[in-house]
């Protein structure tokens, strides 16, 4: 596949269809928008990879405006820096997107040199730690990609300065290393024993330099990682490929665990001989907890929607179905895969109950989405795949991203049994009313006949009472036979 960064004209490339403009579930979108971490949402239309969503953190990190980048290819918005041809930025990022599309699995990249063009047109040096995560539809198909890019420029520049300082001046090296308190910078010899422990390491890990110099890096790895010889594997990777990636839980002096992001690189002397290792890590526990919360929220939502009896739909701003839960097949005989990509009104709500055509402009759900209005308990009729009408009751709740309506969640309850029960109750009530009128007519006739034939009021009362008792006994016999 030809990726951005190579010679490619996107003028005639197909634009993403409605099916690709897919967003995660509403609670997930709220996390996506509110998180301080930079996230971008892309359509799965490689090699273009159109931007269909972006949060404020990403706009701030890349010095861009939402209106200027939405609907454009990520590689058009963020092209290669012509002054840094060695970076291969777009090529490597596109390759990562392609791996996600092939495997359906998240793809975490090593630190990527990817300069950003400022509003004045000048490129600014940036280094990122990208993570691509697929968003899967109900059938397991990829409906969009979440692109997360952590800006690690400060750490890369600090590490570069540290490496330069090691070869130039020990005093200058220590000044630079000690000034960085957000990053733990730890130098070791070839055996993994610590020779330098900066203020950032003490701040993040809790041990002082006096406590750690001479110890091995194993000390701040978890017991399970020590058992798996992860520290030795990092050093081996640093020697063989130039860096050992560190994305895992570590242990502070107080035995508290935290999520670290970093790497280990070889340290070389003036003759380019490896004399040890430089390990740099950063505490990313809040970001990791946000990522895990997103994963848990998505899993919980999937569990709920998969097991509720109501049909659940998610629509995009155009009224196209982008998600349907398994209950839709029982109610309407459409599978979720068949419904995704179809217009909600045209597929399920196209006629009135009497068979008259129902135009979309008169549809309450279309208008509610357009006007950003919720609907509660809306009674109407939908139609099964075979055209059979189904009486339903619906709730429509719009959701937002970036302050604008991004779609709606519609829940649909089949009220066929409820309507049948109501009709039966009406029939019973009508029959009871009819019978009561008959009984009252008989009583009225008995009373009138008794009063006409009785010689006096006392005799009339006695005769009427006896006749009513006899009527009651006759009624009991009729009911019980």
Q: Tell me the per-residue pLDDT of 304-355, one tens digit each, with 9 for 90 and over.
A: 666 677 888 989 988 999 988 888 888 899 999 999 999 999 998 888 888 8
Q: What is the pLDDT of residue 19?
A: 38
- Give the domain-ending residue among 414, 435, 453: 414
Residue 293, domain member (yes or no): no
Residues 189 and 127 in one domain: no
Question: Residue 47, preceding bond cis, omega within 30 degrees?
Answer: yes
Residues 315 and 400 in one domain: yes
Residue 298, domain member (yes or no): no
**Residue 418 pLDDT > 70, yes or no?**
no
Distance CA 263, CA 110 (A): 9
Distance CA 233, CA 255 (A): 23
Residues 268 and 183 in one domain: yes
How far does Cα 195 stand from its chain's mean position?
44
**Residue 172 pLDDT > 60, yes or no?**
no
Give 282's contacts (C-beta < 8 A, 6+ positions apart): 152, 155, 182, 183, 184, 204, 260, 261, 262
User: Are the C-beta atoms of residues 329 and 335 closer than 8 Å to each other?
Assistant: yes
**Mean of per-residue pLDDT scores for the chain:** 82
**Residue 40 pLDDT > 60, yes or no?**
yes
User: Are the C-beta atoms of residues 366 and 345 closer than 8 Å to each other?
Assistant: yes
Q: How confident is the model at residue 480 (pLDDT cuts 50, 70, 90)?
A: low
Q: Could you tell me which residue, 20 or 252, shows the higher pLDDT?
A: 252
Q: Where are the beta strands (DSSP E) in 43-89?
A: 51-54
Distance CA 250, CA 242 (A): 22
Share of the chain above pLDDT 90, in %: 39
**Residue 14 pLDDT > 50, yes or no?**
no
User: Are the C-beta atoms of residues 155 and 280 closer than 8 Å to each other?
Assistant: yes
Residue 436, domain member (yes or no): yes
Average pLDDT over residues 253-258: 94
What is the count of structural domains for the chain?
Answer: 4
- Give the domain-ending residue among 224, 253, 288: 288
**Residue 88 pLDDT > 50, yes or no?**
yes
Instruction: Return the minimum-mean-pLDDT range out of 48-57, 229-238, 395-404, 416-425.
Output: 416-425
Q: How confident is the model at residue 130 (pLDDT cuts 50, 70, 90)?
A: very high
Residues 83 and 142 in one domain: yes
Residues 254 and 132 in one domain: no
Name the residue range of residue 400's domain.
305-414
Q: How confident is the model at residue 32 (pLDDT cuts 50, 70, 90)?
A: low
CATH code (residue 179): 3.30.450.20
Per-residue pLDDT tens digits for 382-392: 999 999 998 98
């Amino acid at each position: 596949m030809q990726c951005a960064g190579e010679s490619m004209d996107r003028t005639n490339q197909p634009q993403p269809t409605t099916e690709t403009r897919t967003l995660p579930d509403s609670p997930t979108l709220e996390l996506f928008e509110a998180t301080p971490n930079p996230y971008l949402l892309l359509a799965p239309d490689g090699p273009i990879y159109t931007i269909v969503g972006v949060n404020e953190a990403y706009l701030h990190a890349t010095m861009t405006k939402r209106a200027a980048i939405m609907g454009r290819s990520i590689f058009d918005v963020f092209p290669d820096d012509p002054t840094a041809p060695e970076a291969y930025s777009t090529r490597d990022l596109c390759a990562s997107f392609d791996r996600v599309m092939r495997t359906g699995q998240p793809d975490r990249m090593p630190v990527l040199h990817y300069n950003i063009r400022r509003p004045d047109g000048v490129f600014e040096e940036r280094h990122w730690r990208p993570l691509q995560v697929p968003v899967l539809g109900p059938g397991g198909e990829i409906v969009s990609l979440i692109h997360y890019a952590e800006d690690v420029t400060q750490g890369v520049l600090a590490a570069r300065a540290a490496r330069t300082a090691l070869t130039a001046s020990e005093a200058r090296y220590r000044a630079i290393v000690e000034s960085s308190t957000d990053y733990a910078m730890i130098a070791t010899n070839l055996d993994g024993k610590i020779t330098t422990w900066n203020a950032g390491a003490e701040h993040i890990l809790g041990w002082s330099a006096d406590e750690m110099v001479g110890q091995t890096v194993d000390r701040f790895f978890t017991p399970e990682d020590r058992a798996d010889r992860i520290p030795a594997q990092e050093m081996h990777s640093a020697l063989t490929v130039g860096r050992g990636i560190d994305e895992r839980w570590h242990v502070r002096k107080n035995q508290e665990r935290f999520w670290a992001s970093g790497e280990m690189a070889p340290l070389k002397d003036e003759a380019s001989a490896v004399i040890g290792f430089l390990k740099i890590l950063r505490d990313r526990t809040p970001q990791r907890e946000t990522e895990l919360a997103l994963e848990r929220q998505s899993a919980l939502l999937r569990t709920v929607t998969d097991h509720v009896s109501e049909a659940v739909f998610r629509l995009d701003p155009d009224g196209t179905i982008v998600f349907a839960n398994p209950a839709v097949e029982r109610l309407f005989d459409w599978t979720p895969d068949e419904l995704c990509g179809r217009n909600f009104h045209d597929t399920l709500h196209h006629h009135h109950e009497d068979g008259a055509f129902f135009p979309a402009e008169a549809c309450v759900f279309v208008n509610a989405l357009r006007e950003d209005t919720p609907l509660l308990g809306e009674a109407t009729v939908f139609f099964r795949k075979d055209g059979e009408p189904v009486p339903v009751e619906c709730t429509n709740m719009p959701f937002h991203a970036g302050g604008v309506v991004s779609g709606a969640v519609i829940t649909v309850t089949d009220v066929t049994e409820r309507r049948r029960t109501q009709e039966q109750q009406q029939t019973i009530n009508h029959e009871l009313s009819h019978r009561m009128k008959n009984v009252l007519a008989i009583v009225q006739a008995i009373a009138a006949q008794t009063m006409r034939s009785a010689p006096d009021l006392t005799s009339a009362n006695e005769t009427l009472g006896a006749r009513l008792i006899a009527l009651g006994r006759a009624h009991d016999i009729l009911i019980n036979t």
